[in-house]
Amino acid sequence: MCQPITNPVARSLAALAVTALASAACVEGAEGEGEGEGEPGQASASLRFGHTVDGAALALGTDTPHTNAAGNQFGVTRLSYFVSDVMVTLADGATLAAPGGHYLDHDTPETLALPLDGEAPAGALVSVAFVMGLPPALNDSGAFPSAPASSMEWPESMGGGYHFMKSEGKFIADDGATESYATHSGALGGVDYSFAVTLDASALALDEGASTIDVEMHVDEWYTNPTDWDFNDYFPGGIMMNADAQAILKANGADVFALGAVTHQ
Ligand SMILES: [Cu+2]
């Protein structure tokens, strides 16, 4: 550890120079090894969610600049969703977690940063895991009473709880008209359509100190693999009562998330 230099000669200019050198060496040692010989320092982390379409950063708007796998031109005016039970696992078995459900909204940047509780010894990562949506244990009506999360409420007549995602925008219909779509997912008829996402993080590591782990949602992937989603099949209209549509979104959603970089702060 760094000890204050109390030697009386430290008051001389020459000794001040020595003090500066000693301090610099001490800082280097602290960065390299943390406390104690050979032990890694402690690491903390936040997830930072971002959204892309066809590899470019998502920009909300009423125009239709994107083309999905089914050939529909579309754009996005709103993207909000819940992720739950976030857990980052390190190679030594330690975990950093953010339990419970978390509301994220593309248009509200502060919702996209998800701090993880606690600290773990710095080192290699294994995985970043979370639930897309709210699993049954968290999907209780009234659980998120405050705006903006409360805007995700799912009708009591359809089982209550919350939308897992509201992705809304415009698309060009087969007849050439510009129509609205509302890709609203949620539990339906007692069936849970939330799903676990586990991302391989073995190429990444947390250094000592605070880091940000980027997680990207590839919005276009909601509409393909395994099922190409044709907006004309569902809209105008809605999918909140459509179990087949909910099942397709759940299956297509398996590959919508990917890890980005780890940024050390
Ligand atoms: Cu809805």
Q: What are 228-244's pLDDT values in tens digits?
A: 999 999 999 999 999 99
Is the pLDDT at 19 greater than 50, yes or no? Answer: no
Q: Which residues surround ligand 1, an ion (CB under 5 A)?
A: 184, 240
Q: What are 62-104's pLDDT values in tens digits?
A: 999 999 999 999 999 999 999 999 999 999 999 999 999 999 9
**Which residue in this structure is represented by tokens 């109390």?**
6
| Single pTM value for the model | 0.85
pLDDT above 70 covers a percentage of the chain that reads 86
* Encoded tokens for 217: 């949602």
Residues 185 and 163: their CA atoms lie apart, in Å, by: 6
54 Cα to the center of ligand 1, angstroms: 25
Mean pLDDT for the chain overall: 89
184 Cα to the center of ligand 1, angstroms: 5
Q: What are 116-152's pLDDT values in tens digits?
A: 999 999 999 999 999 999 999 999 999 999 999 999 9
pLDDT the model gives residue 40: 81
Distances (CA, A) of 140 to 101, 156, 249: 11, 10, 21
- The residue ranges of DSSP E strands in the chain, in sequence order, are 42-53, 56-57, 66-67, 73-74, 78-90, 95-105, 113-115, 120-121, 123-132, 165-172, 178-185, 195-200, 205-206, 209-218, 257-264
Residues 244 and 52: their CA atoms lie apart, in Å, by: 26
259 Cα to the center of ligand 1, angstroms: 28
